[in-house]
Structure 1
């Protein structure tokens, strides 16, 4: 249930959609946040249609559009998104959620620093899909530092990826963070910081988060609602791995159950 007016949080949920219109999954997920009473802010360099209750923020106010970058080989915005979300932490009291995360039930995210385990309670299973950090937190500073000096983001234990970084930097005459390995400004940076420092906040336990690694989210299964019971808080769909037609949910799937739940 949504919180009462008196108990509504001071923070907002922020996410990024760099260009273009939201897809059906992103629309569904943002609706789930609004439905639970959270203030929702979508950062974008475009002017996409958004669900009722979602506030649009011009992303160029934080990072100029001319500084948006893609990875060299896959032309992905993932590393830029890793940078942008900690830039949000510098300017807002914000909970970051990836736009493909569905909130099943209300949760108090008011703590100053929040991360989440996905699958297992190990440092390796923490990523930046759920992120709430103080502006000068060591994780924020490490990620920004890696962007400013990409050599900080290299794993010298992995010579192949290090060589790829230098080769692409030489070919482009530009030693830029876009040449870093996937996760260097995200999961890998968080892991490195947490190996050296005790996390001064809350890490949501694995049972609060469901992913496609645990159960098929888009295929028909027996009694999908049993997977949505307490203490589950969120479902991370991992949009980049999806091959299904999201405009036509499979009957009997968790995705269809959630779609019906929000739309009805």
Structure 2
């Protein structure tokens, strides 16, 4: 059940079982009092109690699924979250976000992951807002010229397209329609000031090195303003649970 006045959070999963880390992250939002919905094409089989499974075809049909040239699905996950927010979903979260404190409603909710880039692992955007309209319009046109690239990357992109080596999003550099696009559009629409500071959602800038340090705890990662911690699954996907020190921050998270 929702905590009083808390918004629902929506996540997306595609593939096999969630695994221990993603399960622990979803449970953290339930503990915080958020109604937690997980959009899936197939039941992962290990969703934690309290998570509501939602048919992902309500947002996009299976036929729209695309993979990056490296085989990854992060590209499609970026497309899905923008389409999801356009339907009125209150807050989107990645499955590797660990909730520390409840998230309150805000028209614009996203945060800096560094001094120069806004991440899209936590997002809320008003339906009908120009930035959300631009995000949806962009992902609906996979052959669109990436104006959010630097001038040097745009020149290279143009040359590769002329040679027939770039056709759609799947041929662009990894995560091209994720943080780089969101940062570009936040600047375009004068919304940089709406982005939360790094320590609100992305205090774990050292990634796996901090999460696996047996001399540290979750308390060492949390600042007074921290609401959630991004676990940066991309740096952990080869990790075996047996290799996680029980006294480390990740060990604490998995034990909850």
TM bucket, shorter chain: 0.7 to 0.9
Matching residue within 75, 82, 90 for 1:79: 75
1:20 is displaced (CA, Å) by: 1.5
User: 1:223/1:112 Cα in 2 relative to 1: closer, same or farther (>3 Å)?
Assistant: closer
Report the equivalent of 2:117.
125
Asked if structure 2 preserves the Cα contact closer than 8 Å seen for 1:212 and 1:237, the reply is no
How do residues 51-66 of structure 1 correspond to structure 2 at under 5 angstroms?
Answer: 51-66=48-63
Gaps of 5+ in 1: none
Report the equivalent of 1:70.
67
The SS at the match of 2:60 is: coil
**TM-score for the superposition, normalised by structure 1:** 0.83
Q: How far apart are the structure 2 equivalents of 1:220 and 1:107?
A: 29
Report the equivalent of 1:237.
231
> Is residue 111 of structure 2 the alignment partner of residue 116 of structure 1?
yes
Asked if structure 2 preserves the Cα contact closer than 8 Å seen for 1:165 and 1:180, the reply is no
Post-superposition Cα deviations, 1:47-89, rounded to whole Å, max 9, x if no partner, equal 12210110001111211101101012x0111111111001011
Q: Matched residue pairs, number?
A: 248
Report the equivalent of 1:25.
21
Q: How far apart are the structure 2 equivalents of 1:165 and 1:137?
A: 31
Q: How far apart are the structure 2 equivalents of 1:252 and 1:60?
A: 40
Matching residue within 33, 38, 45 for 1:42: 38
How do residues 180-195 of structure 1 correspond to structure 2 at under 5 angstroms?
Answer: 180-195=172-187
**TM-score for the superposition, normalised by structure 2:** 0.86
Q: How far apart are the structure 2 equivalents of 1:68 and 1:179?
A: 15
Q: How far apart are the structure 1 equivalents of 2:103 and 2:95?
A: 17
Q: How far apart are the structure 2 equivalents of 1:166 and 1:246?
A: 46
1:164 is displaced (CA, Å) by: 4.2
